[in-house]
Structure 1
């Protein structure tokens, strides 16, 4: 079968890979992959060959935002053939302290699609654990692949304990920032989203959100700031925009040396800082939230490309021309 294979920096091809086994193991499901969202991490691996300590050392299949159709099931699996499903891409060991405490996203042995050395799912078929495969209850395959980025927003919202009436600032109006804002709105918060790009601010307003072009000189306060940029200036502004006793939630992945916080200010004003890494136990809620905001999700589905066009899409490098790009297989 064919797959989108990243062989090195700026070297992405459609190539042949082995077909999955014909026999599906007990507790697993064989899924025909039909839609894969392109994530910023896919782009980063393409451009740099690494994200932090995750370094591309051998060819790797891209793709971890997956919507597909159940093809075959193993023993003990209750899915129906032909069901549209969303795949949670991180499979933990299920035995370590983090897994047993429910924080399986922090499992040191987790195998996450399209994170070296683990292959992703931008290919024809994958065999996946049934308990990390989720019914989508009427969503299309394209909508199903949005459950992964929506999960990031839901997890951040939960970790921030967002609740009714809070003032929340979201930094960054990219896909994750917009979906984080949606999750906060669903909890009853008053949300304001900021970005440096006027076009993204416009898109946020199209979704009915209160959105503004970022102005580092503006002085306003909120209960919670959720940064989805990883940008040093945005984080610094976000910290000083949090009320005393508030929370600064870090979702965006910055560089090791590019995220400087004012420790004295954190202490004197009692600000809590929480880092967010992926998600855990979020996919059912993500699917529900996509149903809730189904009309608004169309913005994320406006740019679809065929599987064969993936290498050219990456080569052209127009990654910011749409809020999201979906690959149709």
Structure 2
């Protein structure tokens, strides 16, 4: 029997039977091997939605996933049983943003796992064959799952454009922040100081190459040895994330905002970013970044496995969502194994 995770309301997660729909032309069936619980999934869980994307009754989340082909995909040269990742971004390909290469900004995107499009926290899922991502034979389901969040981190660092040996302040050491930390080092940035209120996340940041880790922006200012950073990358879920990023930046600096704030709202005084003359960019999902993500993982330059702390069967979803939402010690990235 096909099983799935359902959101029935705010902080109401249940696991039960799932009626798999019929496949459509151009789709292929995937047996889901692993699916990650993303920060956006936690916003759906805690807030019931993000902006216009509101969760209805019996919504199935999950957009970070990998699985095994349940049938041959001859048009892609893939055989049944192959482990693949799936790009959840089904952009239209014809609007002005898609034509300009910004499929991540497509206003009519059909994004797997974003309301109203059910996701991959299920035993099986039909996906467009064009969105399948072939993988090296050395990859595991965990590696497949982590390519999507790594793609988001790549997009954030592309927007940040760190200069050689430039000092950076990174706000937030959750899964995306820890991936960004590694990428900043790959890209040639200088010392990366991390701000993160949770002790176990600070420890993870230090283990992955941060120069120092502080509990607050105030601690960064007093203990970091410099007056503001030329580059600040924010990857938190805090309504104060934008404000804190501004306060961590030096005059004329750059700020890249990656996180989605709880309640879908920022709080900050307008004068601070204006008087600093800051350049500010927002991260929206990712571009065509799977090839680089695969190369970074395959070469060992980014350790995605170090970010994953929990893997559990689908039945554990209610507890895992609660643990992550409540910031229980020791939890970073959690994966569900629908057929494990």
Q: What is the TM-score with the length of structure 1 in the denominator?
A: 0.90
Question: Where do 1:47-62 residues align within 5 Å?
Answer: 47-62=46-61
CA distance in 2, matches of 1:136, 1:258: 38
RMSD between aligned alpha carbons?
A: 2.3
Tell me which moved more, 309-318 or 299-308.
309-318
Q: How many residues align?
A: 326
Cα gap change, 1:258 to 1:270, in 2 (>3 Å): closer
Would you say the 8 A contact 1:30–1:73 is kept in 2? no
CA distance in 2, matches of 1:29, 1:140: 20
Would you say the 8 A contact 2:195–2:217 is kept in 1? no
CA distance in 1, matches of 2:25, 2:86: 17
| SS of structure 2 residue aligned to 1:33 | strand
CA distance in 1, matches of 2:111, 2:328: 25
CA distance in 1, matches of 2:217, 2:95: 43
Cα gap change, 1:234 to 1:51, in 2 (>3 Å): closer
| Map of 2:197 onto structure 1 | 196
Question: Where do 1:297-316 residues align within 5 Å?
Answer: 297-314=304-321
| Map of 2:85 onto structure 1 | 86
* Structure 2, gaps ≥5 residues long: none
Cα gap change, 1:245 to 1:48, in 2 (>3 Å): closer
Q: Are residue 323 (structure 1) and residue 324 (structure 2) matched?
A: no
Would you say the 8 A contact 1:299–1:323 is kept in 2? no
Cα gap change, 1:164 to 1:129, in 2 (>3 Å): farther
Question: Where do 1:49-128 residues align within 5 Å?
Answer: 49-128=48-127
| SS of structure 2 residue aligned to 1:296 | coil
Cα gap change, 1:186 to 1:261, in 2 (>3 Å): farther
Tell me which moved more, 77-86 or 169-178.
77-86
* Structure 1, gaps ≥5 residues long: none
CA distance in 1, matches of 2:15, 2:276: 53
Cα gap change, 1:168 to 1:80, in 2 (>3 Å): farther
CA distance in 1, matches of 2:177, 2:302: 18
| Map of 1:173 onto structure 2 | 173
| SS of structure 1 residue aligned to 2:205 | helix
2:267 to 259, 262, 271: 259
Task: Quote the offset at 1:86 in angstroms.
Answer: 1.4
